[in-house]
Amino acid sequence: MQLAREGYPFVAGGLLVAIFVQLVAGGVLAFICWLIALFMLQFFRDPVREIPNDTGAIVSPADGKVVTVRQATDPISGKKVTNIAIFLNIFSVHSTRIPISGEVLQRIYRQGKFLNAAVDKSSQENERNSIVIRTHDAKEVTCIQIAGLIARRILCYVTEGQSVQCGEKYGFIRFGSRVELFLPQEYRVTVNVGDKVRGGADIIGFTA
């Protein structure tokens, strides 16, 4: 199993505690500690993904369930766009990935609440980190990592001016969250509410 680098301290700590409790006390307490260690292993898994090479493909920025596909206003540019929201539960892979190749124009962090990420108002009120990507066809795509009820830490590794490639990992959200994508209206969306998607691997739309 491949682990995300963000999980090494948590997994190592969980295993060490479980081993210590097993040796010292054993019993139910040790069993609970082993369960926690196993949870850390599954939460921080980061499987290798085969990135689609279809011309004009837009890939899912995260693993999870599509909870919104609608016409909306981009919260950064103010333009009319198509909004796709993906909810990640605690059992989802929590690496976030670049949906489309281009250049990072902006990176904006905003503090906020920690509401349940499954509800729509979390996208306006929760803590979040936004990146705006200028694509190779000179369009702008906004991707937002949103903290959830349990998630308290958003990690983002790209910087303004950086070139990014479709499907590459750019961040991580710890313990339950939401990712929202805002696409130009002329882009064609190929997912519906209720669909389950894999970050970096599943196509959710095309540029033409």
Q: Would you name the residues annotated as active-site residues?
A: 177
User: How far apart (Å, rounded) are the C-alpha atoms in residues 69 and 190?
Assistant: 10
Residue 166 neighbours by CB under 8 Å, 6+ apart:
51, 57, 58, 59, 98, 99, 100, 101
- Of 60, 125, 116, the C-alpha closest to 86 is 60
Angstrom distance (rounded) from CA 198 to CA 64: 7
Angle at CA 24, nearest 5°, toward 22 and 26? 40
Query: In residues, how long is the chain?
Result: 208
Q: How far apart are CA 75 and CA 86, in angstroms?
A: 17
For residues 200 and 52, what is the distance between their CA atoms, to the nearest angstrom? 8
